[in-house]
């Protein structure tokens, strides 16, 4: 065993007597060179890992959830395409809901959404993701520390408008609400199955426009339930406060069921 580097190349046996100090023999050095340059002589080892690739994000998400729970706050991740009516729904809920809520907003640029929510007297924090197409648990963690948790019953996380990327990231919410609006066309649920599979509640929004579009609500509901048989689905027309109240009732029900 080489004492200097701990490798397993055996030192050649000294048969002659000598008194001079010396370093490694030429043979030993040569062996080291060969090792370095010929990877085939090195012991490649294969180790089995089996870890989720987004494990770190998931751990942070669990941490976020624990944080929400310690304050008795229900957290809801709102996801949809840009322009499906996430912010508008929140604005209308501000006037109608009995529970107190705050909003963590995610957008690539601007703080317009947070400004709109704040204008309703609702605490909001804007995350600007730059060019990132989704919120992750680390971004939301920053946002939740900016929320007045002690005063809240519900915290919405309004994700970046996108039907693809946010679906892969647990941000630490208890529930996912996915919106899809009538003008987007009647194939979004089939085209973006991963997103709709994540939904606890699907909101079909802008139903006041149904008469102008060839949109089969029942077909969409059936497609959604192929992906998630037990998913709840509500239709929302923002001009009809009864439809907004049904969303509020759904959230109230979920709050009660969590104790």
Partner 1 sequence: MHEYSVVQALLEQIETIASENDATEVTKIIVKIGVMSGVEAQLLEIAFNTFKEKTICDGAEFVMNIQPLTIVCRACHIKSELSARHYCCPECESIDVEITDGEDMFLMSLEMV
Question: Is residue 168 near partner 1 by the rule CB under 8 A?
Answer: yes
Residue count, binding to partner 1 (CB under 8 A): 34
Terminal Cα-to-Cα distance of the chain (whole angstroms): 65
Please report whether residue 57 would count as binding partner 1 according to CB under 8 A.
Answer: yes
Stretch of 42-50, 76-84, 144-152, 207-215 lying at the interface with partner 1 (CB under 8 A): 42-50
Q: Give, as ranges, the residues between 117 and 136 that touch partner 1 (CB under 8 A).
A: 132-134, 136
Answer for which of 197, 245, 246, 255 binds partner 1 (CB under 8 A) is 197
Q: How far is the CB of 41 from partner 1 (least distance, A)?
A: 10
Figure out which of the listed residues 13, 18, 20, 53 binds partner 1, where binding follows CB under 8 A.
Answer: 53
Nearest distance from C-beta of residue 240 to partner 1, angstroms:
32
Pick 156 or 169: Cβ nearer partner 1? 169
C-alpha torsion angle, residues 131, 197, 154, 122 (rounded to 10): 40
Alpha carbon distance 251, 230 (integer Å):
16
Dist CA 26 CA 149 (whole Å): 70
Alpha-carbon distance of 96 to 245, in angstroms, equals 7
In the Cβ-directed half-sphere of 197, how many Cα atoms lie within 13 Å? 10
Helix (H) or strand (E) holding 181: strand 175-181
Asked whether position 50 contacts partner 1 by CB under 8 A, the answer is: yes
CA distance 188 to 69: 33
Binding site for partner 1 (CB under 8 A): 39, 42-57, 132-134, 136, 164-165, 167-169, 193-195, 197, 226-229
């Amino acid at each position: 065993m080489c004492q200097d580097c701990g490798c397993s190349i055996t030192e050649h046996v000294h048969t002659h007597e000598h008194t001079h100090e010396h370093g490694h023999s030429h043979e030993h050095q040569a062996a080291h060179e060969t090792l370095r340059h010929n990877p085939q002589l090195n012991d490649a080892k294969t180790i089995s890992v089996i870890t989720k690739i987004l494990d770190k994000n998931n751990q942070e998400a669990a941490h976020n959830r624990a944080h929400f729970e310690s304050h008795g706050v229900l957290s809801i991740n709102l996801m949809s395409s840009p322009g499906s009516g996430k912010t508008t729904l929140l604005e209308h809920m501000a006037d109608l809901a009995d529970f107190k809520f705050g909003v963590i907003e995610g957008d690539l640029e601007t703080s317009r959404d947070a400004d709109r929510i704040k204008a309703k007297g609702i605490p909001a924090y804007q995350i600007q993701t730059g060019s990132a197409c989704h919120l992750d648990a680390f971004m939301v963690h920053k946002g939740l520390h900016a929320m007045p948790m002690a005063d809240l019953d519900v915290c919405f996380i309004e994700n970046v408008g996108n039907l693809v990327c946010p679906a892969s990231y647990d941000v630490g919410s208890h529930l996912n609400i996915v919106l899809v609006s009538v003008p987007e066309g009647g194939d979004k649920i089939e085209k973006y199955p991963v997103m709709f599979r994540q939904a606890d509640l699907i909101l079909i929004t802008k139903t006041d426009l149904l008469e102008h579009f060839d949109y089969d609500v029942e077909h969409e509901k059936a497609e959604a339930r192929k992906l998630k048989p037990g998913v709840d689905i509500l239709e929302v027309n923002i001009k009809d406060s009864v439809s907004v109240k049904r969303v509020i009732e759904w959230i109230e029900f979920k709050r009660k069921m969590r104790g």
